[in-house]
DNA sequence: TATGAATGAGCATTCATTCAT
DNA sequence: GATGAATGAATGCTCATTCAT
């Protein structure tokens, strides 16, 4: 049987395809129920080809998680920098959430992996960053440190669940979701902002 | 070790021990990384003993998930029945959350399994029930159906994340957590209740 | 839970019941697919009780095979003795086959085990005996040793298959079967005998 | 031994070797006493290699049985077609038996499996076909339906037993066996044919 | 660059058998 | 005479990974 390089084959392409298929399948079946054989079948290559581009199943998975985390932090940092001098943190947060939800909507499989992967979760990635942003706002009406800690965790939980359900499963609009969450968390006395 | 019955052995006890250890180990390592051999080692019995009491690894896991779900629904239904005629749904919810958090605190391993098991999640178990309770309250200040849907999902996400982090990892008090969550979600105009 | 001797229990009875059920189940499922747990379940006792009466699964099976073989040889020897001085071996054989088929019909399960158990088969049990009987008759029209050897094997094969199919599955009459077989094998020039 | 492809390894060859060894071992020890580990040891490969070529132990066994059955039916049908217009069915049967015995002699292990596997047996495979061929001949001297049914079963039993004993164990000649069987069953008035 | 062929290491499950009561 | 509880010893099968081509 013929062996060796496939006609029209192209390393860059194979690698990208493998990663894409891996993300799809990981997101659907989870790490342990995803077999290398499934991934390569979906990418229409053989198992050794997988190892041409990735060190191992675990490495690829970690790369994917890292990519998710990296993108998320980038969105976060960019937004914060941009809005650094904005006086109303509520606005910042609504913009931030809108961008995050938009990113999630554009990368549903990657997001499902990132949010489901319990060892990581948004909590690990964003807890401190959210804390910083919320601080100013929160200190206005929350009387103590503990309350604000819980406030942030609660917010993160909301974002996680709403992302998995309303956004990814029910296809609601990112903007709408961001607005509603901000409404819940940051509308004690004022009306919602519109951006 | 010789074959046959151990001195002072007792089936009821062995089964309970196996289930307990299984819950601990499942909660720490997850379904796929938990081996029957780990469970029986922890319970100090051999593998066939496991199959004396449980049909399979999968069956046991499902039993455990079902137990969690059942207890949670029971807490929910009992509380709702008890507070059926209470006029302030905020109070009902605060009591409910307090009880749920207390149950979680008493069953940390089981809770970790239940909340981590993505296929189920609180969402699946409690979404509709929470929706019913929140409805009255929510209609007061949320103008539409979609907003209230997101409100409920957000609340569930908050409970999930706060349970996993503040409650189980940081050992915060159930009462405190319930109070704070209610403060976030149900204190538009009024002050928090104390129970 | 209560342990110890069952009310009305009786060793002799348990043992007999176990053997009977074992024969039934062995005959239906074969040695390897029959589990001790099946046998004791059918006899409504527990596994250790089995070992009270039988050394092992294998021992019981061998006992059963031996019983079959013994009975068969007894029928054979009795008949041969009885008809020792009969001049027509055709008659002897028809009587013999009738008795064998009758025994098979009365012990269908045991027979199925005995005839299916390839390591034994009628061949091992009866080959030599049949040879002796047939000899006189055979020498009349078979010219050589080899032919008579095949003649006997063929006869045994016929008895085996007819027993398993026509007798045990289709419930044909033992007498009829014996007559037909004799017709096939011993009716060169003469008419069939009637007994 | 290192992992990965062996020097000069060749899938086709491995698969064939595995099947051959499987047939040998199945025929010697039977289905239940044959372990995958025995088969792969004999073929000098490891267990996963077995599963590279066969779905399961059971599947392979069934494939083997099917192969036996298929070959046998082919011999049968070819012969019958070839001798369709021959007037003497005795000749047809003698040719047929000769060919069957030759096939058995060339495939002793496969034959042992096929004839021992009680759920199938020649009876299941050939009963109806033999019935058709014998019909013409049988009607000449057998007065009724039942007698002819038993005649066919008897013939099949003869073929089975003679194959297992005289042919495979005692290495008698296929031609000789066919001749003798025909002599027994089809020589009422005439002499045996020689082919 | 890519594949055909193979393997190391592990894991869930089964079953005959045996002790302690 | 009989049982509840337990175990030793397999055994089929899977999967990530790796060599030779």
pLDDT of residue D10: 86
Domains identified in chain A and CATH numbers: 11-54 (1.10.10.60), 62-186 (1.10.357)
Decide if C103 contacts C87 (C-beta within 8 A). no
C14 touches strand F (CB under 7 A): yes
> pLDDT band at residue C88, thresholds of 50, 70 and 90?
confident
pLDDT, tens digit (0-9, with 9 covering 90-100), for D4-18: 888 887 889 999 999
pLDDT of residue B193: 40
Average pLDDT over chain B, rounded to whole? 88
Mean pLDDT score, C127-137: 76
Residue A11 has pLDDT above 80, yes or no: no
Distance (Å) from the C-alpha of residue D7 to the closest C-alpha of chain C? 40
Q: Provide the CA B13 to C1' F14 distance, Å, integer.
A: 34
pLDDT of residue C195: 44
Percent above pLDDT 70 for chain C: 87
For residues A33-52, b (16+ Cβ closer than 10 Å) or e, as one string? Answer: ebebebbbeebebeeebbee
Asked if C151 lies within 8 A of D32 by C-beta distance, the reply is: no
pLDDT of residue B3: 87
Q: Provide the CA A66 to C1' F18 distance, Å, integer.
A: 27
- Which residues in window 76-115 of D are less than 7 A from strand E by Cβ? none
B45 or A194, which is more confident? B45
pLDDT, tens digit (0-9, with 9 covering 90-100), for C30-75: 999 999 999 999 999 999 999 999 999 999 999 999 999 999 999 9
The span from the CA of B155 to the CA of B127, in Å, is: 10
> pLDDT band at residue D190, thresholds of 50, 70 and 90?
very low
pLDDT, tens digit (0-9, with 9 covering 90-100), for B104-135: 999 999 999 999 886 656 667 777 777 777 77
Residue A123 has pLDDT above 80, yes or no: no
The tokens describing A25, both together, are 């399948």
DSSP state of D187: -
Residue B94 has pLDDT above 60, yes or no: yes
Asked if A181 lies within 8 A of B123 by C-beta distance, the reply is: no
Mean pLDDT score, B92-104: 95
The tokens describing C89, both together, are 């071996």
D155 or C6, which is more confident? D155
Q: Which nucleotide is nearest to A58 (CA to C1')?
A: F16
pLDDT of residue B191: 37
pLDDT of residue D131: 76
HSE-up (13 A, CA, CB side) for residue C126: 33
Mean pLDDT score, B84-100: 88
pLDDT of residue C141: 67
> Comparing C-alpha atoms, which of C126, C24, C11 is closest to residue C70?
C126
Asked if A146 lies within 8 A of B176 by C-beta distance, the reply is: yes
pLDDT, tens digit (0-9, with 9 covering 90-100), for A139-177: 666 667 788 889 999 999 999 999 999 999 999 999 999
pLDDT of residue A174: 97
Mean pLDDT score, A96-123: 88
pLDDT, tens digit (0-9, with 9 covering 90-100), for D77-106: 999 899 888 877 788 899 999 999 999 999
Residue C1 has pLDDT above 70, yes or no: no
Average pLDDT over chain D, rounded to whole? 88
Determine the length of chain A.
195
Q: Provide the CA B82 to C1' E21 distance, Å, integer.
A: 49
Mean pLDDT score, B132-147: 74
pLDDT of residue B143: 67
Residue B195 has pLDDT above 60, yes or no: no
Mean pLDDT score, B13-20: 96
Residue C189 has pLDDT above 60, yes or no: no
Decide if B178 contacts B105 (C-beta within 8 A). no
Residue D167 has pLDDT above 90, yes or no: yes
pLDDT of residue D120: 59
For every residue of A43-80, DSSP letters joined together read: HT--HHHHHHH-S-HHHHHHHHHHHHHHHHHHHHHHHH
Decide if B79 contacts B96 (C-beta within 8 A). yes
Mean pLDDT score, B64-73: 93
pLDDT of residue C172: 96
Asked if A157 lies within 8 A of B153 by C-beta distance, the reply is: no
> Which nucleotides of chain F does any protein CB come within 7 A of?
1-21
B83 or D20, which is more confident? D20
Asked if B184 lies within 8 A of A154 by C-beta distance, the reply is: yes
pLDDT, tens digit (0-9, with 9 covering 90-100), for A52-109: 999 999 999 999 999 999 999 999 999 989 988 877 778 889 999 999 999 999 999 9
A6 or B147, which is more confident? B147
Mean pLDDT score, D62-67: 94
Distance (Å) from the C-alpha of residue A16 to the closest C-alpha of chain B? 28
The tokens describing A173, both together, are 């609009």
pLDDT of residue B124: 73
CA B155 from centroid of its chain's CA atoms: 15
Helix residue ranges, H only, chain A: 11-29, 36-43, 47-53, 57-82, 89-106, 108-116, 121-141, 145-162, 174-186
Mean pLDDT score, C21-25: 98
Q: Which residues contact A71 (CB under 8 A, 6 or more apart)?
A: A103, A107
The span from the CA of A68 to the CA of A83, in Å, is: 23
> pLDDT band at residue A3, thresholds of 50, 70 and 90?
low
Most confidently modeled of A109-118, B50-59, B148-157, D147-156? Answer: B50-59
pLDDT of residue D18: 97
Q: Provide the CA A174 to C1' E1 distance, Å, integer.
A: 42
Decide if C150 contacts C127 (C-beta within 8 A). no
pLDDT, tens digit (0-9, with 9 covering 90-100), for A16-53: 999 999 999 999 999 999 999 999 999 999 999 999 99
Q: Which of A32, A151, A154 is closest, CB to CB, to B32?
A: A32
> pLDDT band at residue C117, thresholds of 50, 70 and 90?
confident
pLDDT, tens digit (0-9, with 9 covering 90-100), for D131-150: 777 777 776 666 677 888 89
Q: Which of C150, C176, C180 is closest, CB to CB, to D166?
A: C150
Residue D162 has pLDDT above 50, yes or no: yes
Q: Calculate the alpha carbon distances from D80 to D90, D128, D134 in Å.
A: 12, 13, 12
pLDDT of residue B190: 41
pLDDT of residue A192: 37
pLDDT of residue C111: 95
D10 touches strand F (CB under 7 A): no
**Which residue matches tokens 């045990």?**
C168
Percent above pLDDT 70 for chain B: 89
Nearest CA in chain D to C190: D188
Helices H, strands E: what count in chain B?
9, 0
pLDDT of residue A148: 85
> Comparing C-alpha atoms, which of D137, D160, D189 is closest to residue C155?
D160
pLDDT of residue C132: 77
Percent above pLDDT 90 for chain A: 63
Mean pLDDT score, B146-152: 88
């Amino acid at each position: 049987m013929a062996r060796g390089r496939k006609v029209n084959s192209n390393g860059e392409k194979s690698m990208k395809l493998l990663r894409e298929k891996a993300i799809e399948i990981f997101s659907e079946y989870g790490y342990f129920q995803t077999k290398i054989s499934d991934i390569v079948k979906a990418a229409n290559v053989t198992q050794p080809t997988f190892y041409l581009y990735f060190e191992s199943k675990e490495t690829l998975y970690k790369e994917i998680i890292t990519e998710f985390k990296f993108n998320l932090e980038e969105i976060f940092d960019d937004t914060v920098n941009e809005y650094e001098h904005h006086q109303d943190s509520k606005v910042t947060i609504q913009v931030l959430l809108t961008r995050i939800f938009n990113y999630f909507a554009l990368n549903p499989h990657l997001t499902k992996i990132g949010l489901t992967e319990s060892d990581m979760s948004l909590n690990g990635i964003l807890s401190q960053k959210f804390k910083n942003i919320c601080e100013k706002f929160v200190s206005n009406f929350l009387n103590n440190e503990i309350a604000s800690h819980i406030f942030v965790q609660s917010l993160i939980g909301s974002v996680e669940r709403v992302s998995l359900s309303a956004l990814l499963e029910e296809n609601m609009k990112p903007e709408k979701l961001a607005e509603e969450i901000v409404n819940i968390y940051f509308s004690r006395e004022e009306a919602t902002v519109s951006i």
